């Protein structure tokens, strides 16, 4: 995760050990890095909890913590030091361990020419309404995978891509593992996910405010 905080692409080092040896050789960097860590710890207001997913034995993400997409991809093994994930979609899968991550923007900026307005929002603190990608239809392989619970679904949500006041890219709140309550429709399909652990009031405040802009 730290590697992708510092670098934008894979392959700068042969291993994480090599990266830390290189960074540790710069005493000024180490000193400033320690000061930044202390500052960030003091300012952290996220009500973080222990991960509730089947991956909690090795997953470094904390439930209700806020992370960049690059940090999430590194934490879950979707990116490695040799290969950065190229995914730009709202779902990402790691078939070997039956993991599927869902990245959701509550307030969406509609792409030019798009007629699809995905309705993704929190119904309450325990249930989240989500729409699949537009190509997913009733009876398709993807639909059946959702229906049969073939993958372990992890949900990440953020208010929108860019912060409305500061213009910086916003992070995703990790809402943990979810299970399907209901599914209907086609192209896209509407799924209601049940959160194993209810989201915080702060997350619900923005996650319940669906709208599309642009």
Domain ranges for the chain, please list them.
Answer: 1-44, 47-213
Q: How high is the pLDDT of residue 45?
A: 62
Count Cβ atoms below 10 Å from residue 39 Cβ, excluding itself: 10
Q: What is the pLDDT of residues 105-155, one digit of tens each?
A: 998 875 444 445 678 999 999 999 999 988 899 999 999 999 999 999 999
Cβ–Cβ < 8 Å for 193, 149 = no
* Closest residue by Cα to residue 2 from 80, 71, 61: 71
d(CA 90, CA 133): 8
Element (H, E) at 34: helix 27-43
The β-bridge relationship of strands 152-158 and 99-105 is: parallel
If you average pLDDT over every residue of the chain, what do you get? 88
Residue 210, helix vs strand vs coil:
coil
Q: How high is the pLDDT of residue 101?
A: 97
Q: How high is the pLDDT of residue 72?
A: 96
Supply the DSSP string of 80-141, one letter for each residue: -SS------SSEEEEGGGTEEEEEEESEEEPPTT-------EESSSSEEEEE--TT--TTSH
Residue 39 has pLDDT above 90, yes or no: no
d(CA 139, CA 188): 12
Q: What is the pLDDT of residues 54-90, one digit of tens each?
A: 999 999 999 999 999 999 999 999 999 999 998 888 9
Residue 67, helix vs strand vs coil:
strand
DSSP class of residue 30 equals H
Q: What is the pLDDT of residues 154-205, one digit of tens each?
A: 999 999 888 877 778 899 999 999 999 999 999 999 999 999 999 999 999 9
Q: How high is the pLDDT of residue 203?
A: 93
Q: Averaged over 10-34, what is the pLDDT?
A: 89
For 148-193, the three-class secondary structure string (H helix, E strand, C coil) is CCCCEEEEEEECCCECCCCCCECCEEEEEEEEEEEEEECCCEEEEE
Give this prediction's pTM: 0.84
């Amino acid at each position: 995760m730290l590697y992708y905080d510092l670098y934008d692409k894979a392959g700068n080092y042969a291993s994480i050990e090599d990266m830390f040896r290189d960074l540790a050789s710069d005493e000024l960097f180490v000193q400033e890095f320690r000061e930044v860590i202390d500052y960030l710890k003091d300012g952290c207001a996220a009500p973080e909890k222990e991960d509730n997913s089947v991956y909690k034995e090795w997953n470094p993400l904390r439930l209700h913590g806020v992370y960049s997409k690059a940090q999430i991809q590194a934490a879950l093994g979707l990116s490695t030091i040799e290969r950065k994930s190229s995914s730009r979609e709202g779902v990402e899968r790691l078939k070997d361990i039956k993991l599927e991550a869902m990245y959701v923007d509550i307030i969406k900026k509609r792409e030019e020419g798009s007629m699809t307005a995905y309705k993704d929002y929190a119904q309450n603190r325990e249930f989240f309404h989500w729409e699949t990608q537009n190509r997913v239809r009733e009876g398709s392989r993807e639909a059946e995978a959702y229906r049969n619970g073939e993958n372990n679904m992890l949900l990440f949500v953020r208010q929108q891509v860019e912060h409305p006041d500061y213009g910086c890219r916003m992070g995703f709140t990790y809402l943990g593992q979810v299970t399907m309550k209901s599914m209907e429709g086609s192209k896209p399909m509407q799924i209601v996910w049940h959160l194993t652990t209810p989201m915080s009031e702060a997350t619900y405040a923005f996650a319940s405010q669906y709208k599309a802009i642009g």
